[in-house]
Structure 1
């Protein structure tokens, strides 16, 4: 975490340690399987590492391009810059770039490989819908992601899934086990395929859990910084209700950055388990914000 005045979260830290330990165990299992099966582990790890580095290094550029967002100057968005200036001064952290995406979907996200290369993006939809204190709460939430280096954490956490996904594709492309008459080679290919799928699924679930933890932490630390958890709760309630009425065609434009967005960009299907969600349910987030309000002596 960068040296800022954002509050630490011991509960989140404990849960993160458990999640990261599970991901580390997956790395060990996958590496051992590669070596035991005679696969080119070095090649897979190098390719995966390059992919991971590119995803991390160009995270801000890719996210802004996906949303067709434009970085704005203080002259172009004075009120937005004034809010971020105030929050950064309160948090004692570097000011990120500020961007605006022209879409009616009410949302915001933060991305960037380091605090000095970070950017906070808001949509025209969220600026139009929220009051000033509500928007400040959302911006404080996003700045918390930057202070805690969440983009880097989530990128590194996804490494096992990237390796497993690449392995699965390599086995499928090679056609091993389908055209090869050697039974041992066929069994080896099948083993690699099965291990890769299992590792990918478990890694996917663990990174989703880590994402939910970090969203709750950003809610909590953002609310503590502003001292107005009720404003953030009001913003969440407004946005969650409005997103449900946005056409799916428009919601799909947020899919590329939904993991880093303030609220889920795409509504969940009824049959979809909460295990697959990148964000906690609204009820859970409001419950945690109510605890912050009680901690601050508010009702």
Structure 2
């Protein structure tokens, strides 16, 4: 039975660092958004109703439907307790520990060993694991991974990252609107300048928002690791799962990893090896060494044997 409770606070350890970084990132991206729309309104004076309509519709659509689209794209199939009793049992234990409502539970048919969580909040959350992960992890290791994913739900990471990534999507759309709406054929000097300036401004906005969301994404992974380790009291099992998943990932065929890679920001571990990464600056996840080092420090602090 799904548990309900009056408070939205869980027993996951609060993370002031994550909260501060989320607030800072959202402020900077919001500021960037205001400047970007302002530039568009100046350059395309006669098109401001269209600009505001597109911006508003895109924001609402991405906020309400991006998690469902991502789950669909990753092949998540919701399963009942009868279909996956052990998986449901593990999720139940974590929810009891964290005092959180139970999310929907799903499985994705993929040999890539991974897991992800989607949903704007606790009431709409879905936690999914791949068949590859279920085959490879021991029960205690799976519990550590699921505790990590539930930490994302408790921290409202999906909602924050959806909003944070919105500006980059808007910038790309606006560029297409200007380039393909026929404004380039106008002899008006303002329209001619818009065709040149809007793509440049859009590119700059996209780059800044991209880097800001990558910084936030890396920190939220460390925060979820830390919260999961403290909740379960067993950092070593999460470290073992991380090591196993990262090692197994290198053995997965490249074509399978390429299918999973577009959703790296959602995954428990990135769907590519460290050699294929474009560098820490562009990565959605911290390095395996950073994650293991943090878990080792937590283990020492907890006196875990």
- Whether TM-score is above 0.5 comes out as yes
Structure 2 residue 21 is matched with structure 1 residue 15? yes
Per the TM alignment, residue 7 of structure 1 is displaced from its structure 2 partner at its CA by 0.6
Equivalent residue for 1:292? 298
Equivalent residue for 2:220? 214
Per the TM alignment, residue 236 of structure 1 is displaced from its structure 2 partner at its CA by 0.6
SS in 1 for 2:264: helix
- Alignment check: 8 A CA contact 2:277 2:283 kept: no
SS in 2 for 1:279: coil
Comparing 158-167 with 117-126, greater Cα deviation is found at 158-167
Which residue of 244, 259, 269 corresponds with 1:253? 259
Comparing 22-31 with 194-203, greater Cα deviation is found at 22-31
Comparing 54-63 with 108-117, greater Cα deviation is found at 54-63
Separation in 2, partners of 1:20, 1:228: 32
Separation in 2, partners of 1:67, 1:159: 20
Equivalent residue for 1:26? 32
Equivalent residue for 1:262? 268
Equivalent residue for 1:197? 203
Equivalent residue for 2:247? 241
Per the TM alignment, residue 17 of structure 1 is displaced from its structure 2 partner at its CA by 2.8
SS in 1 for 2:117: strand
- Alignment check: 8 A CA contact 2:222 2:291 kept: yes
Separation in 1, partners of 2:279, 2:186: 39
The change in CA–CA distance for 1:270 and 1:114 in structure 2 (over 3 A counts) is closer
Equivalent residue for 2:4? none
Comparing 228-237 with 49-58, greater Cα deviation is found at 49-58
The change in CA–CA distance for 1:270 and 1:86 in structure 2 (over 3 A counts) is closer
Separation in 1, partners of 2:71, 2:169: 22
Structure 2 residue 79 is matched with structure 1 residue 72? yes
Per the TM alignment, residue 34 of structure 1 is displaced from its structure 2 partner at its CA by 1.9
Which residue of 47, 56, 75 corresponds with 2:54? 47
- Alignment check: 8 A CA contact 2:121 2:154 kept: no
Comparing 88-97 with 19-28, greater Cα deviation is found at 19-28
Identify unmatched segments of 5+ residues in structure 2.
1-6
Equivalent residue for 2:175? 168
- Alignment check: 8 A CA contact 1:60 1:119 kept: no
SS in 1 for 2:107: strand
Separation in 2, partners of 1:77, 1:250: 24
RMSD across aligned positions (CA)? 2.0
Normalising by the residue count of structure 2, what TM-score does the alignment of the two structures yield? 0.91
Identify unmatched segments of 5+ residues in structure 1.
none
- Alignment check: 8 A CA contact 2:25 2:164 kept: no
- Alignment check: 8 A CA contact 1:216 1:285 kept: yes
Separation in 2, partners of 1:58, 1:32: 26
SS in 1 for 2:110: coil
